[in-house]
Structure 1
Amino acid sequence: MKKITLLIILLWLPSVWLTWQPDANYFFWRHQLTMLTGALGFAYMAVAMLLAMRIPRVEEYVNGLDKGYAIHKQMGIGALVTMVMHWVLIESPKCLVSLGLIEGQQKRQRLGQLVEGINWTHWAKVVGEYTFYVFLAFVAISLIQAISYRKFRFTHKLGGAIFLAGSFHSVFLLDYQWSSAGLNSVIWLAAIAGSICAFISLTGSIGRARIVNGQVTAIQRIHDQASQSQVLHVKIKLNEAMKYRAGQFAYLNFNDGEAPHPFSVLNYDSHNQEIEFAIKDLGDYTHALYDSLSVGRAVAVEGGYGRFQIPKSSNQVWIGAGIGIVPFIAWLHYLTHLPHSTSRHIDLFYCRDNDDQTYFVKLLEKLVSKLPYVKLHIYTASHNEFLCADRVAQHIDLSQASVSFCGPISFGNALKNRLLGLGLSKQNFHSERFVMR
C-alpha cells in the first residue's frame, strides 16, 4: 500500500509544481488535493479488484491468497478514507462560501464539457456522488463482522458495479493538461484493468478455471460434549485431478444456495482423486452444514489456494491451535509419502481445549508414528497447559529454526513477538491469515 501511495503522490507532484502561482488560493489547493485523493482512492480500488480475481501469479507475488485478502481489505479501508476526504474537499466550498469565508469561483471546463450534445462532466459528477454513498454502505457491510457471510458475499458482488461507476466518474473528471499526463496515464490503466476485473466478477467467472466437481462419499460427525464444539469430517471423490500442494485451502460449493466457503484441506489423495476436509461449526452456515450434509451431495471444489508450505529448514516448529491444526495434518500426510529424512527435525504442538477433543489427537498420533523425526506435543487448556514462546524455545534453538503457526490471530501475534525477542529471525515465522473478510 505504501508503494502505491508513493507512486500516486510522485505522479501528482508535477501538476502542483508546474501550475502553482504565488497567488495560489484555496481553490487551487482544493483542486489539487481533490485530484490526489480521487487518484489514491481509485488506485486502491483497482488493486483491490485485481486481488479479488484469485490470479495465481498475483497470489504468488503477495505470498498467498490469505495475504492477498488481507491486502484487499487494507485497500478497501484506504479507499474509504481517501474517498471521504475527496468528498469533503468537493463539498467544502458550499459551506465556506455560505459562511462568507471565501468567494465563489467560476467552474473549470473539463473534457466532458467539450463533447457536443451531452454534458458528460455533469453526469460524471452525479454518478460519482451516488456511487460514493453506495460505496460507504458497501464497505460498512464488508467490515461489520456481525453481518452474515452470505449477505457479505452477496453484497460484495456490487464491488464490480461500483468500480465501473467509479471509472466513469474518474476518466471524465481527470485534469487533462500536460502536467498531469503521468497521473492520468496510471488512472486510465487502472480503469481499464479494473474494469476487466469487474466484468469477470459480475459474470461470476472468478476462479472458474480452478473448479473441479465431485461428490460427497463419506461423512463423520465429531461432537465434543465438554465444549459443545462440532467438527464435520468430509471426504469427496473428485471427477478429475486438481492442482494442490500440502497446506493449501479450497472453496467448497455444495449447491445449497450459499456462496462458496473456504476450508483448509485435511488430505488430498491424488492417485484416487479424493480430498478430505475437517469443517468446524463456527457460524450459521457451518452449523447448518453439520446437520444437513449427506453422502451423495454434489460439490464443486475450487483450489487449491494459499502458500502455507512446509519450510525447508532442518529444524522446524509447527504450532496448530484448534482447527488450525488441519494444514499441519495435511503436511504430515504429505511427508508420509516421502523417504524418511535424516536431517530434518520437527516439533509439532497441538493446542486444544480439553481431553474430549481426541479426534485430531488420534489422527496426529497415527501419522507421527510413521515419521520418526516428528515429535508431537499436546497442550490441553483444561489442564492449565498453555503454550507460550518460552516453552517453544526450550525444545529448539530458535536462531537455527523456523516456526509455522495456524490458529487465532491474537495468539499468533503474541507468539511471534515473543519468539522474535528470543532470537527467531522474522523471515522464519510463517503463518496463515485465514480471514476472508
Structure 2
Amino acid sequence: MKKIGLLLVAAALALPFVWWPQIAQGRDGIALFSQYLGLGALIAMAISHLIATRWPGVELVFGPMDQSYRLHKWLGIGAMVAILLHDTIDAEMRGLGRETALVELAETLGEISLYGLLMLVVITVATFIPYHLWKWTHRFIGIFFLFGAFHYLYILKPFKNSDPLGLYMWAVCIIGTVAYAWTSAPRGMRPRKSYEITAVTQEGDAIAVDMKPTGRPLRHRAGQFAFFRFSGAGLNEPHPFTISSAPADDGTLRITVAPLGDLTNRVSRSLAVGQALQADGPYGHFGRAKGAQVWIAAGVGITPFVALAQALPADAAPVTLVYCVRDRANAPHLAELEALAAAKPNLTLVLWQSAERGRFTADALPELVDDIATRKVLFCGPVPMRRALSKDLPKQGVSQRNFHYEAFEIRTGIGIRRLAEWLWQRHQARSTS
C-alpha cells in the first residue's frame, strides 16, 4: 500500500482538529469527541466510496487495486466502529438551538444509517454468504452514506455548515456522493471496452476464454487483470479475472476461468463463442519486479505467469517457474508453458505434482534454484499457501521485500477465523506438551 495514500487518509481524518480548539471552547469534551467520531465516519466512508470507483488515479495514490480494496474494506469497518461509538456516546450539547422537524428527520435517518451499515458490514465479513447476494446488498452502502450525510448536515452541532469545518465536510459529502453516483450509474454511462468470445477451450481443470475487441481495445501489461461482465448469461455483475495472454497488436485477450466459487462456476457453464462481454481495466502492478526471479504458481494462479512468460524478453534475467498442480491432467496451459520454456533459454519450467511429491513448501526451493537467496520470488495461488511461503521464505534467504504477490480478494473477513485457528493450535500444543 502506498504511503502517500495512507498519509492522505490520515490527513483527511485529522484535518477537523485544525478548527477544534476554537470549537471546543466551553464545550462538553465527551460530547465533542462523539461529534468528531461522526465526522470521522463520514470521511472514512467518502474515501472508501472514492476507492470503489476504480478511477485511474486510485491505484496511483493508494497502490495496486488489491491493496486499495483492502484499505476500502478497513475504512468501511473503521467507519462502522466510529458510528457505533458515536451512537453510544452522547453527542448532545446545550445551547445549540431548538429541534425542528428537519432536525428530527436527520436524527431518524442517522439511526437508519447506523443499523443499515451495521447489517451490511456483517454481510461483507461473513464470507460464507454467496458472492452475488453480497454484491446485491453492497450497493445499499451508498444510500446509507447519503442518509448519514443528511444526518450530519441538519443535526444540531457546535459549528455551522458555512464555517471552515462545515465547508470541509460539505466537500467530503459531495466527494462521497459523486463517487457513489458513479459506481451506481447505468453501465452504459461508464466507460467499458466491448469484446466478443472467439473460442472456449478446456485447459486442465479450467476454461480458457479467447476474445476479440468489437471496438477500441483494452491496453494492458502482462500480469494485469480486468473486470469482465458477460452478457446474456445471467451474469450481470462484473468480476475480476487475470488476463492470461500478453498484449497483442490486434487487442485480443484471453482469460482463464476455474470453477472455484459461486460466480466462476456459473461463468464456466455459461460461456459460448459469439457471446458479448465488457471489460473494465486494466488494473494491478504484478510482474514489475526486475532481475533474476522465481515464479511460484498454484492451480489457476498460473494465469499471470502465462502472460509474463509470453512477454519475457530474450535478454531478460533468468526465471524459474515452479508450477504446482495435483497432476498434469489438472494443469491449465501446461503444453503452452512447456513450449515457451523450450523456446526461451532464460525460462525454466518446474512442474511440481503434489500427487507424486506432496505439497510444495519453501524448503524445496534450494534444490530447484541454486541462487534462491539472490532472486525475487513472485507468487500467485491460494491464500494458505501464500501465508506459508511468506513465513518460510526468510529461512531460505528471501526477505519479505523480495516476496511479491497480489492478494486481490474482493471479499475478505477480518481475521476471526485465523485467530480461532491460532488459538486452537495453541491449545493443542499445550495439551500435547
Where does residue 208 of structure 2 map in the other structure? 233
Q: Does 1:124 align with 2:106?
A: yes
Q: TM-score, normalised by structure 1?
A: 0.83
Q: Does the 8 A contact of 1:241 with 1:270 survive in 2?
A: no
CA distance in 2, matches of 1:424, 1:358: 27
Where does residue 431 of structure 1 map in the other structure? 405
What is the identity, as a one-letter code, of the residue corresponding to 1:414?
A
Where does residue 274 of structure 2 map in the other structure? 296
SS of the counterpart of 2:220? coil
Structure-to-structure mapping, 1:250-261, within 5 angstroms: 250-255=226-231, 256-258=233-235, 259-261=237-239
Give the drift of 1:421: 4.8
SS of the counterpart of 1:302? strand
Q: Does the 8 A contact of 2:241 with 2:255 survive in 1?
A: yes
Tell me: CA distance 1:421–1:37, structure 2 relative to 1, closer, same or farther (3 Å): farther
Give the drift of 1:283: 2.0
Give the drift of 1:265: 0.8
CA distance in 1, matches of 2:289, 2:193: 28
Q: TM-score, normalised by structure 2?
A: 0.84
Where does residue 382 of structure 1 map in the other structure? 355
Where does residue 15 of structure 1 map in the other structure? 20
CA distance in 2, matches of 1:206, 1:427: 42
CA distance in 1, matches of 2:278, 2:11: 41
CA distance in 2, matches of 1:396, 1:177: 66
Tell me: CA distance 1:383–1:269, structure 2 relative to 1, closer, same or farther (3 Å): same
Deviations, residues 372-424 of structure 1 (Å, cap 9, x unaligned): 11111222221233322233245254553211111112221221232235433
Cα RMSD for the two superposed structures: 2.8
Structure-to-structure mapping, 1:96-111, within 5 angstroms: 107-109=94-96
Q: Does the 8 A contact of 1:54 with 1:206 survive in 2?
A: no
Q: Does 1:153 align with 2:135?
A: yes
Q: Does the 8 A contact of 1:216 with 1:236 survive in 2?
A: yes
CA distance in 2, matches of 1:120, 1:171: 10
Q: Does 1:249 align with 2:230?
A: no
Q: Does 1:287 align with 2:238?
A: no
Q: How many residues align?
A: 401
What is the identity, as a one-letter code, of the residue corresponding to 1:109?
L
Give the drift of 1:6: 6.8
Q: Does the 8 A contact of 1:207 with 1:302 survive in 2?
A: no
CA distance in 2, matches of 1:13, 1:272: 54
Percent identity of equivalent pairs: 28
CA distance in 1, matches of 2:344, 2:390: 27
Give the drift of 1:329: 0.6
CA distance in 2, matches of 1:420, 1:329: 26
SS of the counterpart of 1:266? coil
Where does residue 394 of structure 2 map in the other structure? 420
Tell me: CA distance 1:358–1:420, structure 2 relative to 1, closer, same or farther (3 Å): closer
Q: Does the 8 A contact of 1:5 with 1:40 survive in 2?
A: no
CA distance in 1, matches of 2:129, 2:140: 16
Q: Does 1:218 align with 2:199?
A: yes
CA distance in 2, matches of 1:83, 1:75: 12
Tell me: CA distance 1:145–1:18, structure 2 relative to 1, closer, same or farther (3 Å): closer
Give the drift of 1:356: 2.5
Give the drift of 1:13: 7.7
Tell me: CA distance 1:171–1:358, structure 2 relative to 1, closer, same or farther (3 Å): same
Give the drift of 1:326: 0.6
Q: Does 1:321 align with 2:298?
A: yes
Deviations, residues 264-297 of structure 1 (Å, cap 9, x unaligned): 1111452232111110001233223323321111
Could you tell me which runs of 5 or more consecutive residues in structure 1 were left unpaired when the two chains were aligned. Answer: 92-104, 224-229
Tell me: CA distance 1:393–1:61, structure 2 relative to 1, closer, same or farther (3 Å): farther
Q: Does the 8 A contact of 1:41 with 1:79 survive in 2?
A: yes
CA distance in 2, matches of 1:174, 1:405: 53
Give the drift of 1:432: 0.7
Structure-to-structure mapping, 1:57-72, within 5 angstroms: 57-72=57-72
CA distance in 1, matches of 2:259, 2:71: 27
CA distance in 2, matches of 1:31, 1:176: 10
Structure-to-structure mapping, 1:1-80, within 5 angstroms: 3=7, 4-5=9-10, 8-9=13-14, 11-12=16-17, 15=20, 19=24, 28-80=28-80
Picking from 309, 324, 341, the partner of 1:332 is 309
Where does residue 285 of structure 2 map in the other structure? 307
Tell me: CA distance 1:277–1:88, structure 2 relative to 1, closer, same or farther (3 Å): same
Give the drift of 1:31: 0.9
Where does residue 191 of structure 1 map in the other structure? 173
Picking from 319, 326, 333, the partner of 1:353 is 326
Could you tell me which runs of 5 or more consecutive residues in structure 2 were left unpaired when the two chains were aligned. Answer: 412-433
Q: Does the 8 A contact of 2:211 with 2:254 survive in 1?
A: yes
CA distance in 1, matches of 2:243, 2:253: 7
Where does residue 85 of structure 1 map in the other structure? 85
SS of the counterpart of 1:377? strand
What is the identity, as a one-letter code, of the residue corresponding to 1:383?
E
SS of the counterpart of 1:351? strand
Q: Which moved more, 1:257-266 or 1:324-333?
A: 257-266
CA distance in 2, matches of 1:87, 1:320: 47
Bigger radius of gyration among the two: 1
CA distance in 2, matches of 1:242, 1:106: 55
Q: Does the 8 A contact of 1:351 with 1:387 survive in 2?
A: yes
Q: Does the 8 A contact of 2:245 with 2:255 survive in 1?
A: yes
